[in-house]
Amino acid sequence: MTRIAGGQIDRSRTWAFTFDGLPYTGHPGDTLASALLANGVRLMGRSFKYHRPRGVIAAGSEEPNALVELRTGARREPNTRATVAELYDGLQAASQNRWPSLRFDAMAINDRLSPFFAAGFYYKTFMWPASFWEKVYEPIIRRAAGLGSLSGQDDPDSYDKGFLHCDLLVIGAGPAGLAAALTAGRAGARVILADEDFRMGGRLNAETHGVGGIAGADWAAQAVAELASLPSVRLMARTTVMGAMDHGIYAAVERVSDHLAEPAPHTPRQILWRIYSARAILATGAIERPIAFENNDRPGIMLAGALRAYANRWGVAAGDHVVVFTNNDDGLRTATDLSAKGLEVSVIDARNGDEVTGSAGSLGLKSITVRRANGRSEVLRVNALGVSGGWNPNLNIASNHRGRPVWNDAIAAFVPAPDSVSGLTCAGAVAGVMSTHAALATGAARAVAALAELGRSVTPMDVPEAEDAPVKITPKWYVQSGKGRAWIDPQNDVTVKDIRLAHQENFVSVEHLKRYTTLGMATDQGKTGNVLGLAIMAELTGKTIPETGTTMYRPPATPVALGALAGRSRGPEFKPVRHTPSHVWAAEQGAVFVEVGYWLRTQYLPRAGETTWRQSVDREVLQTRRSVGICDVTTLGKIDIQGTDAGAFLDRVYANTFSTLAIGRVRYGLMLREDGIVMDDGTTARMGADDYVMTTTTANAVPVFRHLEYCRQVLWPDLDVQLISTTEAWAQYSVAGPNARKLLQKLVDQDISDAAFPYMACGAITVCGGLRARLFRISFSGELAYEIAVPTRYGDAMIRALVEAGQEFDAVVYGTEALGVMRVEKGHVAGNELNGQSTALNMGLGKMVSVKKDAIGRVLSQREGLTAAGGLRLVGVRPVDPARSLTAGAHFLAMGAPATAAHDDGWLTSVVFSPHLGHSIALGYLKNGTARMGERLRAVNLLASTEVEVEIVSPHFIDPEGERLRG
């Protein structure tokens, strides 16, 4: 065991866990990484490309190496960083990207083949022959690619999304963040303090120096306790702010249950928060970077600050023979701290000219080679090496809005540019001020400044006494050596050589360098090693680092589970459902439902003995045409249009005229877009002098309403028109067929004889002894038909009453399929014809466009290109051989014409089987179609390899004179 004294773990409790099936123990407060190290496990994974043995490098979320699979079964999660995986009793973890075992990995052969796998390998190798790509190369690459593997099962956990509001969002709960939160929270500001760690305090938990006379970790605990007592402060541990959106909105993922074996019932695993902040402070600290040298990727070689964190926070000695290789004073702290814990430590300080030039140990570090300033080399037997090349501000979020970081010579690192993100300021190490005291002071000062911008005057907290050492660093990026490989991006296996190769091949821009070598493109986004690559490129090109530049970061700052982005929108909850008023009844009848947008509509209602949908649909159509059918048409959009200018308004939004419509009458309306294309159609009823009810197609209810609001607010702001949707307020049923009137008259309290209620009449009525209702004598089927509307709460009772009243007529309830059949038989246009490309002229409705008034789309509908002779016209189509069936989408071709686009004459838009006619029929758009009645053409469908000889006929397959409607 390598557990040593101290740390913030609860030694009174011991938890069992497994790694690759072997049992280990740890304590509450451990991460998987600290617990594995405490058990002497250094080898935790294999690298991506070369399958090199790897161990943990860091102690935080920047970890590039120690990626493991957590949990088993459906909850298995690949590529989880062991450094942030909170230990729990019973945790099961496994290494990944190895076969058959972590210690012996057959794919390690790649390491021997490394000369072939240099930067650009894929681009250069898999070029030719082209035919090899799909069958040979891609399968090989896919098999070799990736690290962990998915469970292949549905995620059993749930995820929430949520919204939070605050005056001040503080990102990071180290000394700077705590000071900012205390300053703002004590003043009563609404503060959210978010930290990705389960224990707030940041580096204070990992250091030995004190704050205000007590241990830093204790000071942090006290600060957190005080913040928890402030009602306006929300503390969010285990919460990663992953990106800055616009205008003070931040995205954050809270890991609610990841520290448990599984979430409590009904509790989400994670929550994706959308945080609305008036101001934000970035206090995400800094991330240490290594110095590259040959074979610097062995398990046991880690960042010096991580080595120290494991010892101080978790009471773990990663080795008992330790060397620290540093170019700055902070590295020396590791030596001091570890030495104080009784470990044997020596320091190789690059500033003295000493360097580590290599390492040995096949599955873990056994020795290093050191080249002294005097040129002499020696081999040191060590089992832990801490490397420090300096600290990079963790500025990920500050660059989300393209604010390019700027170079700071004093700390030899990039810092966020001022005002990189509007409303966000930086405090502490992320701002480039590296001492604890400066972190506390800037945290307090930034909070004061942020609240001042919000008009609140607050006093900063008294900054306690704390470590205030200056940064002393001499930049050193890598150790010159011979032929070996020195890693700078261990996760993507990018080495110093790859940077040289990129330079040699002229990929010298940082953006090209990144994409060519994949530097920084792994799940860790190169948080530890990116700057090394830039520095080496700078050296190769003879430029400075600031001249070379740096890439920027996009959200997310750390990997996010897709489940968190999906939230509750999964499976049947992907979208809400809209139920029609007849749904309960229809479900009782065994109806088959179809999704129409959010709506669930009755598609058809099978009866006993029917084995195909066609049997049901044919019966519904024939029964309706023979006697009477009932259909729920509630889903059509209904818009109440009132006001003294309502008629004038309708004249502007419809191509045809409405101001002349008599009270108590309905008219079919055609709505155009300003470009002259048909937008929607439907009937509008004039219920009173200033009172109209417009219907829209089901699909366009929302866009049409939006358009009408646009017309009345933006185009004609003084028209006296008021709008409100009433789609949901009324249950509306179509009653169609020769017996429609007889059926309805049994329910309607008033006289609805043809004289009292003629074709296209509408009005307020009562039904069933006094219920307020509306009746419209309109028809989509071509039959004598009415639509009757009752308040929605009576929709269920109404369908039952209609069915009961219809029994003596053998009435049928029909669904959307029969509805579609009957409208095609009647030649009415619908969605397939209203395709966003068609004009009124195309639809055979050209005469509806009034030229006597200004209306949306009128002028441009008359454009030459839209009105040219020979354009597409709506036609009816029947197969010459009635036994053949047509397919929608088939194209018209003249007899004998080759099936090419040049000979295309149009296409079939809607196809149904007409039980009335006993064969397949269709509507279609045909060039010069009106003049081609009786002509024979071919309907060719190259996708289905079908070709049917067809005859062009009138689109009105039944009752072309409309006698049934007026019956």
Which CB, 152 or 576, lies closer to other proteins? 576
Quick one: 545 or 631, whose CB is closer to other proteins?
631
Short-list 249, 261, 254, 214, CA closest to 235: 254
How many CA atoms within 13 Å lie on the side-chain side of 104? Answer: 1
CA angle 49, 54, 60 (to 5 degrees): 110
422, 541, 753, 837: which one contacts other proteins (CB under 8 A)? Answer: 422
Which C-beta is closer to other proteins: that of 554 or that of 772? Answer: 772
Q: Which residues 662-681 are close enough to bind other proteins by CB under 8 A?
A: 674-675
Strands 270-282 and 936-941: unpaired
719 binds other proteins (CB under 8 A): yes
* Residue among 2, 65, 158, 392 that touches other proteins (CB under 8 A): 158
Residues 875-934 touching other proteins, rule: CB under 8 A, are: none
Regarding 862 and contact with other proteins (CB under 8 A), the answer is yes
The one-letter code for the residue type at 813 is V
Q: Which is nearer to other proteins, 462 or 709 (CB)?
A: 709
Starting at the earlier edge strand, list the strands of the sheet with 785-791: 762-767, 771-776, 785-791, 730-736, 629-632, 812-813
Nearest to 98 by CA among 44, 137, 61, 142: 44
Angle at alpha carbon of residue 769, lines to 765 and 770, rounded to 5°: 50
Of 716, 738, 871, 959, the residue at the interface with other proteins (CB under 8 A) is 716
Q: 677 vs 813, which CB is nearer to other proteins?
A: 677
Instruction: Name which of residues 931 to 960 contact other proteins (CB under 8 A).
Output: none
Closest to other proteins by CB, 55 vs 423, is 423
Q: Tell me which of 790, 821, 875, 908 binds other proteins, using CB under 8 A.
A: 790
Among 138, 595, 720, 754, contact with other proteins (rule: CB under 8 A): 720
Binding positions for other proteins, 587-606, rule CB under 8 A: 598-599
Q: Which among 557, 716, 748, 744 has a CA at the least distance from the CA of 650?
A: 716
Least distance (Å) from other proteins to the CB of residue 710? Answer: 6
Q: In angstroms, rounded to a whole number, what is the distance separating the alpha carbons of residues 631 and 240?
A: 52
Q: CA 684 to CA 68: how far, in whole Å?
A: 64
Site size toward other proteins, by CB under 8 A: 91
Out of 45, 202, 795, 876, point to the residue binding other proteins (CB under 8 A).
Answer: 795
Nearer to other proteins, 352 or 659 (CB): 659
E strands along 304-371, which residues? 321-326, 344-349, 355-360, 367-371
Which one of residues 6, 28, 188, 791 is an interface residue with other proteins (CB under 8 A)?
791
Q: Would you call 717 exposed, middle or buried from its count of C-beta atoms within 10 A (0-12, 13-18, 19+)?
A: exposed
| Residue 745 DSSP SS3 | helix
Q: Does 696 bind other proteins (CB under 8 A)?
A: no
The nearer residue to other proteins, 757 or 794, going by C-beta atoms, is 794
Query: Could you tell me the two tokens for 646?
Result: 């309502």
Q: Which element (helix H / strand E) includes 93?
A: strand 92-94
Binder of other proteins out of 729, 888, 953, 958 (CB under 8 A)? 729
- What is the DSSP pairing of strand 946-953 with strand 936-941? antiparallel
Among 73, 115, 129, 770, binds other proteins (CB under 8 A): 770
Residue 111 within binding range of other proteins, rule CB under 8 A? no
Nearer residue to other proteins within complex by CB, 366 or 853: 853
Q: Which amino acid is at 904?
A: D
Residue 54 CA to residue 363 CA, distance in Å, equals 8
Alpha carbon distance 912, 824 (integer Å): 7
From CA 242, how far away is CA 866, in angstroms rounded? 51
- Contact code string over 492-531 relative to other proteins, x by CB under 8 A: ----------------------------------------
Q: How many CB atoms lie within 10 A of CB 321?
A: 17
Separation of alpha carbons 958 and 783, rounded Å: 10
Tell me the closest approach of the beta carbon of residue 895 to other proteins, in angstroms: 38
Among 372, 863, 936, 966, binds other proteins (CB under 8 A): 863
Is residue 690 within the footprint of other proteins (CB under 8 A)? Answer: yes
The 45-84 site mask, x for binding other proteins (CB under 8 A), equals ----------------------------------------
Q: How far is the CB of 244 from other proteins (least distance, A)?
A: 12
Tokens encoding 933 = 């009645």
307, two tokens? 């080595």
Among 82, 91, 102, 271, binds other proteins (CB under 8 A): 271
Question: x/- binding map, residues 229-268, to other proteins, per CB under 8 A?
Answer: ----------------xxxxx---------------xxxx
Interacting residue with other proteins among 710, 751, 931, 944 (CB under 8 A): 710
Check residue 726 for interaction with other proteins (CB under 8 A): yes
CB 697 to other proteins: min, Å: 16
Task: Give residues with Cβ within 8 angstroms of 835, minimum separation 6.
Answer: 909
CA distances from 541 to 478, 498, 593 (A): 16, 15, 67
Contact string (CB under 8 A) for other proteins, positions 196-235, x = contact:
----------------------------------------
User: How are beta strands 377-381 and 367-371 bridged, if at all?
Assistant: antiparallel
Coil, strand or helix: which one is 170? Answer: strand
Indicate whether 767 belongs to the interface with other proteins (CB under 8 A).
yes
